[in-house]
Amino acid sequence: MADIREHRDSLMTLTMKASTHIPVLLEETIENLRVRPGGHYIDSTVGGGGHAALILGRSSPGGKLLGIDADPGAIEIARETLRPYGAAAILVNENFDQLEYICSKCGFLTVDGVLFDLGMSSMQLEDESRGFSFQLESPLDMRFSPTQELTAYEIVNNMSEEELANLIRRYGEEPRSRRIASYIVNSRPVSTTTELARVVERVVGGRRERIHPSTRTFQALRVAVNQELEHLECALNQVARVLNPGGRLVVISYHSLDDRMVKEFLRRESSGYTPTLKVINKKVITPSLAEVRSNPRSRSAKMRVTERI
């Protein structure tokens, strides 16, 4: 445990130079992936490279890591973070829904562990040009990759009121979705994140809530723009085929939509006549109080772990 903390401290110094993203459940990830020297691992959402760097450190000598991310900016940051590991780190700017194809292309035919750290990173949230945050004045974009055609602006300004309400309800689990959709349609055109936040706040009013009144609406738009649930389902269905027997899958999710999908996938794949996976932790793993205090954005994280039979 002490060597993980030492490695984490040095890693934080390195990654903080490139971004403000702090890896969540770092020690728990290494422990549950059972990282060992010479192992091959996939970080399907490599981000700034925080988890990946510790995986490479613990899998040395002989270890390799395939890092995947749809965001080209994240890949460049990860490249700098993982530079000390040289050819042991292979980085690919693709969506993880192409998991098997990417593995085949990069020579990772089977691996000892796969990590999904879902959602968006702090560096994406804090980038004023990306439009993820309701606290920054930005264009309504919300794309993980600039090659995607659909933006949040198009959804907000072109979708019918009924479609918009259903989207906000489905992907944001927002109980006031119909009123919010009505206010948005009547306020068009809505061009920036702060404009949209003000529209939503007019619906919610001065009610006191645990989260910001715009959180669920912004989540819904981000999930829809990036087809997050569709891509996650597609990727999960490929995992068993790239894992070695005894290899581990670790998934960290931050909202109930992702977690429910992962939970249902694990239930399905660990039961029936020919199960492919074995659930390791019946109860989700969550950050410690100390981690939440040092990194408040970790508070909603849930980790699920399974093993290839």
6-20, 50-64, 68-82, 181-195: the lowest-pLDDT one: 6-20
- Which CATH architecture group holds 2-123+228-308? 3-Layer(aba) Sandwich (3.40)
Domain ranges of the chain: 2-123+228-308, 149-225
Does the pTM surpass 0.75? The reply is yes
Choice between 236 and 210, residue whose per-residue pLDDT is larger? 236
Q: pLDDT band at 210, cuts 50/70/90?
A: confident
Q: Which three-class secondary structure state does DSSP give residue 132?
A: coil
What confidence tens digit (pLDDT) does each residue in 223-248 have? 999 999 999 999 999 999 999 999 99
Cα-Cα-Cα-Cα torsion 238, 256, 4, 294, nearest 10 degrees, comes to 150
Contact 237, 276 (CB under 8 A): no
Q: What is the pLDDT of residue 17?
A: 44
- 149-225 belongs to CATH 1.10.150.170: yes
Contact 140, 153 (CB under 8 A): yes
* pLDDT above 80: residue 7: no
Q: What is the pLDDT of residue 208?
A: 56
Q: pLDDT band at 15, cuts 50/70/90?
A: very low
What confidence tens digit (pLDDT) does each residue in 93-107 have? 999 999 999 999 999
